[in-house]
Each structure stands twice: as structure tokens, then as C-alpha cells.
Amino acid sequence: MIAIIGAGPAGLSAAAAATRRGEEVIIIDSSSQLGGQYWRHLPSARNDSHSLHYDFSKAQKLFDELLSQPLLTRYSNSQVWQAEKCGDQFHLYILRNGVEEKVVADKVILATGAYDRTIPFPGWTFPGVMTPGAAQAMLKGHGVLVGKKVVIAGTGPFILPVATGLAESGAEIVGLFEFNNPFRWIFNLHGLLLNPSRIAEAFYYLKKLQKHRVKIEFGKKVESATRSSAVVDGTEIECDVIAVGWGFAPDVTLAGILGAQLGVDSDGTVIVKVDRRQETNILGLFAAGEATGIGGSTLSMIEGRIAGGGRGGLSRWRAQVFANGLKKVYPVPSILTKNLPEETIICRCEEVTRGQICTSIDELGAQSARTAKLFTRAGMGLCQGRVCGRNVSEIVADHLVQKVSDSERIAGGQRPLAAPISLGELGDGLAKKF
Amino acid sequence: MKSPDAIVIGAGIAGASCALALTNAGLTVLVLDRGPVAGGTTGAGEGNILVSDKDPGPELTLALRSRDLWFDMQSDVGDHFELEAKGGIVVARHDEKPLKDFAAKQRAAGVDVQEVGDRELHELEPFLTPEITSGVFYPQDSQCQPMLAAAHVLRAVRLRGGQVITGATVKAIDTSGGRVQGVQSDKGNFSSPIIINATGTWAGDIATMAGSHLPIAPRKGFILVTAPAPKLIHHKVYDSDYVANVASSDADLQTSTVVEGTRAGTILIGASRERIGFDGRMNVDILRRLAAQATSLFPILRDIQLLRAYRGFRPYAPDHLPVIGEDSLIQGLWHSAGHEGAGIGLAPGSAHLITAQIIGKTPFMDPAPFSPKRFQAGAA
């Protein structure tokens, strides 16, 4: 039996490939619906989702195939909180609707995706400041518009569909700011030329945005926020929501727990290392999609297919060239975490400021992000450093006039638990004799 | 500073306490650590300063004095490390007689021990299971944030003329003529007639490097950390199996619970002990046992989410007594090591024992039971 963790583009493609080959598959996902973050949709009105997704027909086809696939078992509303490899088998401990179950699998495919990368700025903790992913999830998953007047900023192609979705749903986009210049694609033209469908997708969004009279401005970012405005390039823009995203960070927690080798990608994110067959250094443990490096849904689907035992061929190479281009065109400059005012909160769970982090270095002898965390509690709160970990590392390294080492980045991606579990449920596992 | 009066190897709480005591006694001190401040065993500790878990004997005498020295250290360097006389409560689930007998012996040895009945116990800990109806209260049991403590103590050492070099790995210890001459590190060579080995779990390696030996081995312990919660637990609450475990030589895994709240709102659940070398992997079964024991003490914790778990390596000697004193093979080499789970609590007491002997004052207790000589007699 193959266990696939995550039901987004990579996970679903892996499930389809594996079941077509006659394998029994269990797919585990935290949502009640198939599709993951990327193809998030309203449960009842799947057809309405077309307007919110550029390529939803691809998703629709996969959903239809998999929902009628007798070899597939679905664990929805389920989170793997812990995993072990025992002999040749994997033991996955799963919270399914809050109750713990154990699943034993011969092969595991991690398709755990990524989450938004956040970089602090003065005012980023005000209500109304969020990531584009959160605004998108509210809209696609719950049909809720996050605000009436929205500023969208950051970098990467993802801000285009978010702006389009919000505009189409009735929000006024009062500012759309891409920090990087798209002319950088000129130096990565092959990435575009090999993937003409991506150009078509971009024009699709731009056309829709034009219809709503939304203009993209390049080279600008949200410098600070108040409760009712964003400051961009010295100008105050009145708004009720500011969605800022700086690309994505792969979710590698389970890979780390299972002892898989992690690496650092060219964009500085921590990724799961895999071979051409998407297998990690742990026999039988595979990874596909964003967890192996941010590359978009097309590459994720191809990687998923390969992990599920299918073929990739040239399409994988083309999509990989595009993914490499993305990282070059939309870099997140390290200047963003430099020069932040001392009082800027960096870890919002524990309310730790940049000044406190620097003091722990100057006064207490912290020499790494790890000790700075021990002294200040930065990264020790509810999110366990998923939001702030990388920023803390950058700030510590910057203050020490160093570069963040790969080993520190990888250590920052290691977490002992993949999801929280209640102490009651955890202890009850003893009686269940797992 | 090429030739300090003393070199302390290890920037954890043991080394920091020694550095401060020596500095305050007028010596110039250099502290070296291959990692950052509090990067080893101290950084994985709960910050326990306990008298409740110790049998009458030299370790309890040291613990009682050391506990008071913690508060002296706070007056000395400032209230920066969350030191708090939180108090400990030991409860018995089944047979209370061993617990009461143990308490009586401790009282005779000078520990402040208060037996508490049903009503009083549940006034102290309102969410404790009603199934437990009596316990023993130890008001002296205390708590600190050990990383901050080590950092602020070392900061005081620096401000008083000492030097702290982190990221400096000691490569060799020069012991020509059977006595300490200095160290070679990757950040320079330093000469000194006194070297203090305060390297916790790695103290055996430093002893070997100096041409001596010390049987210090790691013991692994997990600590569970929950999501922040309202104040549900007011003291350190142990079940009495814990007291039995500390003195155990049984190498199998034993678990027994210590549950406590922290200032940050998280609840810590600890005390699993397992002697399996340096294997640091998570063991789901241990997490389950700790959670089951904690929730049986405090049923209200059932709905609290576990956020993370971390492991510490507690260095211990075969007879479970710390090793504090001058090496019997290499003159000028002093050890403060092998404190097991009590390293935070015993650190300032150990530092004072060593400092008194170095400057030729009478220590507050007979240091002989802790002497490294007990493991080095055959070779000497």
C-alpha cells in the first residue's frame, strides 16, 4: 500500500498514476475536499470554482477519476502528526477528525506543499494584514471576501490570480505592487518559450485585471501599514486589507521527522532532496511537488506522476526550466529584513522585536539563530517558527555580518511534530496499542 | 588575555557559575566554548533547582546550599533569568508511605517539608485529580530560565574583566610535567595554571584530552511543551516514582511525570529517563507515556495541545553523584560535571566548592564525596 500525504496537484497526480498501475493508495489530507491549497474550492459549488481557477478543468478531471477509483482510500480532515520507519514499513500516526489512527504503508509519497513566506514590516501585525494565500483561501474555500479595498503586494506570479480572484468577486484592488521587474524574464526567456501556456495564463490574468482597471506597479513594496492604510513609496493608500506575500516556503516537516535528507534550494528555502524518481535517501520514501522546491502546479503534477510510478519525460524538464526561471525573476532580496526599525515585531506568536533579537547577540552572546531563539523565545510559539524562523536567521546573520549557513537553514526546517495533538489523544494511544 | 588565572571550558550554567565565582574571588577568567553560550545541555534543560528529589547525604547538602546561592547570584547579576521559588509538590498515586518516610528523612536533614492533606493539596493545585488526596509540599523548590541565566552570568563576568570566547573548540590541553599549562584552541592558544572542565555531557572527552579519565555518560530525557494555556498549574508537581527514578541504575526506560506551568504560559511535562547514548531520535511511545501520566495527574490537560518535544542529554557518573573537584592525575585540572538532571540547580554550589578550594578557603561542606578521585584511584 502507498500512502500519499497531501491532496494538492502533486498528491492527486501521484494517486492517479499509482492507482492506474493497480496500486492500492491511501491519500491523507487536512481538508475535507480534494485539491489542496492550490485547487481549494467550495464544497457544494464545484462548478462555480471555474471562474476562480485558471486551469480548474485539470483538477476536475483528476477529482472525477479519483473519486470513482476503487483502489483509493481517502482520509480527509486528517493530519499526520508523527511518522516512523520500522523495518521496511512506514508507520503514520494520523489525527482523523481529531481521533488518532495508525496507518502502515510500504511506500510513502510526501506531497505536503508549501506555505506563504512572510517578511515583517512596521504594522504587519495589524488585523487586515495577511498573506495572499490567506485571502485566496478565504475566497476559494469559504466564499468570503476579505475586504472591500485591498492592496496586494510582494513578489511572484501568485499575486496575479489572487488579485484577479478578489477583483472578480467584487473587491476594489486599490494597489497591486510587484517588487521585481518582469523584464528579468528576458534573461530567462527559454523558461517562458518552453512553457507558452504560462504566458497565456499570465495574459489571462492581466486581461481580467485590465477589465477591472487594476494596474500593476513594479519595483514597489508595502513599507508600512496603519490600521486603515498601506504606505507604498511614501504614499498612503487607504484600504481595509493588505495582502503581502514573498513567495513560498516548502513544508518539509514530515520528511525531516522520517530522517530524509534536506537541502537548500537556490532561493534559500529548505527542500526535500530527491532523485530522478522522486525518491529520498530513505528507501520507499518519495516526495513530490513544492516540498522538493517551489516550481508551480505544472511541475508539481509531473513530479507527482513520477512519484506515483508514472513517466515524466520532456515535460518535466520544460517545467523545471520554468521553475528555475521563477526563482531568478522573483528573488526575495535580503534587504527586506535589513534596516527594519528596532521595535518591529519579528516573531508575532511571542511578540519578539528585532531590537530584542539584536540585544541577545550584543549583550548575551547569542551566535546563531538557535541561541537567539533560546534567549528571546522567537520562534517558540504556536507556529513553531514556520512564519518567522527564516527571518530570525536572516536578522541574526545580518547583525553578525555573516551569511546564514545551509546547516542552520536545514536545522530551522526540522520540527519534532508535524501537527499539534492534544495530550488526551496522545496518551490514549497507549491503550490503542499502536 | 593570553594568560588568564583560570580557563573555564564550557559556557553552560556550570561553566558560567564557576567563571563568576572565580571572578568575584579576584581571578581573571577566560571562558571557552566550541558552540554558543548555553548551546549544550543547559540549552535543553527545564531549569530545575530542586531539593525535593534528593536523598539526605552530600548531594542534598550541596543542593540546599546551591539553591540559596541561586538567589545570591540573582542579587549579584540582576533579576534577568526568571528565578522563582515556585515550590514543588510530590504526590503519591498508590502507596503514600514511602513518600512520607522520604519526607521525614529530608526534614531531619534540614529541608523545609510540609505534608498536605486533601483540602490543602487541592487549594495549592485546584486542577489536580481528586483521586489524589495527599502530598508533600517543598516550598524551597525553585525554577529559572537556564539559558538566560548562563548568558547573564557570563555577561557579568565580561563586565568584570573576564573574557568569553564562543565558537572556540579546544584542540589540546597542555599538561607537561603532570600539571595544567594551558589549552590550544582553534581561536588561539592560552596558558593558565588552572583549567575547569565544565563541559557537561562531554566532560569525559575533555578529561581524556588532558590525559586523565572520567566516566561520564549521557542520559536522555524528553520534555513535552504544550501550546500556551491559562495558569492551570502553579507548582512543580511530581508523582513520587520520580524520586525513586533519580537514584536508579536500571538502564531501561523509566517514565514518571513532572508537570509545571511556565511564565510563557506553556506547560512542561518531563522526566522520562533513558540511557541509550547519544541517539537523539523521537520515540512516540515515550511521548505517549508522558502525556498519559500528565493527564492522569491533571485531567484538564487532556484538551491542551502538544506543540513540540525536545530532548536533553543529562550527563551522569556511575554512582549518580556529581564530579566536583581537582583531578587526581593532572594537577590544576578541575571538574564540575556529571550533575545529571540536577546540573542547573547544583551549578552555583559546585562553583563555590571549586573556588573555595582554589583560593584556599574552607568550603561550606566537605567536598570529598564529589572528588574525581573515586574514579581515578586505580590509575593513580
Domain of A257: which CATH number? 3.50.50.60
Which of these, B275, B310, B291, B282, lies nearest to A85 by C-alpha position?
B282
**Cell numbers linked to B273:** 529517563
Shared domain for A163 and A147, answered yes or no, is yes
**pLDDT tens digits for range A167-185:** 999 999 999 999 999 888 8
State how far the Cα of B69 lies from the Cα of B58, in Å rounded to an integer: 16
Which of these, A320, A331, A140, A152, lies nearest to A247 by C-alpha position?
A331
Helix, strand, coil percentages, rounded to 5, for chain B: 35, 25, 40
Task: Please give the pLDDT value at position A142.
Answer: 86
Shared domain for A197 and A209, answered yes or no, is yes
Task: Please give the pLDDT value at position A312.
Answer: 84
State how far the Cα of A144 lies from the Cα of B35, in Å rounded to an integer: 50
Which residues of chain A does B306 touch, with a Cβ-Cβ cutoff of 8 Å? 417, 420-423, 426
Are B147 and A375 inside 8 Å of each other by CB?
Answer: yes
Shared domain for A130 and A213, answered yes or no, is yes
CATH of the domain spanning B6-76+145-215+319-376: 3.50.50.60
Q: Over chain A, what is the mean pLDDT?
A: 93
Shared domain for A224 and A253, answered yes or no, is no
Which residues of chain B does A375 touch, with a Cβ-Cβ cutoff of 8 Å? 147-148, 151
Q: Is residue A428 part of a domain?
A: no
* B380 — pLDDT class (breaks 50, 70, 90): very low
Are A366 and B148 inside 8 Å of each other by CB?
Answer: no
Give mean pLDDT, residues A273-286.
Answer: 97
**pLDDT tens digits for range B354-370:** 999 999 999 999 999 99
Domain range spanning residue A276?
Answer: 2-115+249-327
Q: Residue ranges of the domains in chain B?
A: 6-76+145-215+319-376, 88-139+217-316
**pLDDT tens digits for range A180-204:** 998 888 888 888 888 888 889 999 9
Task: Please give the pLDDT value at position B172.
Answer: 97
Are A416 and B309 inside 8 Å of each other by CB?
Answer: yes
**pLDDT tens digits for range B38-78:** 988 898 888 999 999 898 999 999 999 999 999 999 999 99
Percent of chain A residues past pLDDT 90, beyond the cut: 80
Give mean pLDDT, residues A73-77.
Answer: 97
Range name among A38-52, A227-241, A252-266, A369-383 with the lowest pLDDT average? A38-52
Which residues of chain B does A366 touch, with a Cβ-Cβ cutoff of 8 Å? 36-37, 151
Sequence-ordered list of residues with C-beta below 8 angstroms from that of A4, at least 6 positions apart, any chain: A11, A14, A15, A18, A25, A26, A27, A28, A108, A109, A111, A308
- The two counts, helices (H) then strands (E), for chain A are 14, 23
Looking at the structure of chain A, the number of domains it has is 3
> Would you list which residues of chain B are within 8 Å, Cβ to Cβ, of chain A?
11, 35-39, 43, 147-148, 151-152, 154-155, 164, 166-167, 224, 226-228, 264, 269, 281-282, 284-285, 287-289, 291-296, 301-310
pLDDT at A222 over 60: yes
Q: Is residue A433 part of a domain?
A: no
Query: In B112-254, at which residue ranges do the beta strands (DSSP E only) sit?
Result: 114-116, 135-138, 142-143, 163-165, 170-174, 182-185, 188-191, 195-197, 217-226, 236-239
pLDDT at B174 over 90: yes
SS3 B233: coil
Q: Is residue A394 part of a domain?
A: yes
Task: Please give the pLDDT value at position B246.
Answer: 62
Q: Count chain A–chain B contacts defined by CB atoms under 8 A.
A: 116
ipTM: 0.87
**pLDDT tens digits for range A289-319:** 999 999 999 999 999 999 999 988 889 999 9
The string of DSSP codes covering A305-362 is HHHTT---THHHHHHHHHHHHHHHHS---GGGGTT--TT-EEETTTTEEHHHHHHHHH
Between strands A89-96 and A99-105, the pairing is antiparallel
Distance from CA of A295 to the nearest CA of B (A): 30
Q: Is residue A429 part of a domain?
A: no
Residue of chain B minimizing CA distance to A375 = B148
pLDDT at A430 over 80: yes
**pLDDT tens digits for range A328-387:** 999 998 888 888 999 999 999 999 999 999 999 999 988 888 899 999 999 998 889 999
φ/ψ of residue A257, rounded to 5: -60, -40
State how far the Cα of B151 lies from the Cα of B377, in Å rounded to an integer: 36
Q: Which of A104, A426, A430 to mutate to test the interface with B (most CBs of B within 10 A)?
A: A426
The segment with the largest mean pLDDT, out of A96-105, A181-190, B214-223, B269-278, is A96-105
* Exposed / middle / buried, residue A219 (Cβ in 10 Å: 0-12, 13-18, 19+): exposed
Which of these, A159, A161, A198, lies nearest to A179 by C-alpha position?
A159
Q: Which of B269, B284, B298 to mutate to test the interface with A (most CBs of A within 10 A)?
A: B284
State how far the Cα of A80 lies from the Cα of A394, in Å rounded to an integer: 30
**pLDDT tens digits for range A323-341:** 999 999 999 988 888 889 9
Q: Is residue A431 part of a domain?
A: no
pTM: 0.90
Q: Is residue A286 part of a domain?
A: yes
Fold that domain B88-139+217-316 belongs to in CATH? D-Amino Acid Oxidase; Chain A, domain 2 (3.30.9)
